[in-house]
């Protein structure tokens, strides 16, 4: 049972981090074309749901949202909270 939960968590994290990375790239592309944008709350929600590493990687890879303080500090803060939560869960 533990292995199944671990596998499900790994698949979820891989998918949501890939989504966070791709969403940053898509939003950057849309910004360049002055097209409809992905809402910032969607980008943050993706990070909160476990995609913080992918969102941070996409932010710097695509040079997108790097001037916004709430992304520069908010996404790493979400990651820290997630790491603390995982550490706490694993130590129980």
Please name the residue that has the structure tokens 């790239």: 25
* pLDDT, tens digit (0-9, with 9 covering 90-100), for 57-78: 999 999 999 999 999 999 999 9
Average pLDDT over residues 22-37: 98
DSSP E strands in 1-92: the ranges are none
Provide the domain count of the chain. 1
pLDDT of 2: 87
* pLDDT, tens digit (0-9, with 9 covering 90-100), for 37-48: 999 999 999 999
pLDDT of 92: 87
- CA distances, 1 to each of 4, 7, 46, 87 (Å): 5, 10, 27, 20
**Owning domain of residue 50:** 2-91
- Do the beta carbons of residue 37 and residue 30 sit within 8 Å? yes
């Amino acid at each position: 049972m533990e292995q199944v939960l671990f596998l499900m968590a790994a698949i979820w994290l891989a998918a949501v981090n890939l989504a966070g990375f791709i969403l940053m790239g898509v939003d950057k592309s849309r910004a360049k074309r002055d097209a409809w944008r992905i809402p910032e709350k969607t980008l943050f929600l993706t990070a909160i749901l476990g995609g913080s590493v992918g969102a941070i990687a996409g932010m710097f890879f695509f040079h997108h949202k790097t001037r916004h303080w709430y992304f520069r500090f908010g996404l790493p803060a979400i990651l820290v909270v997630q790491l603390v939560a995982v550490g706490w869960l694993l130590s129980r």
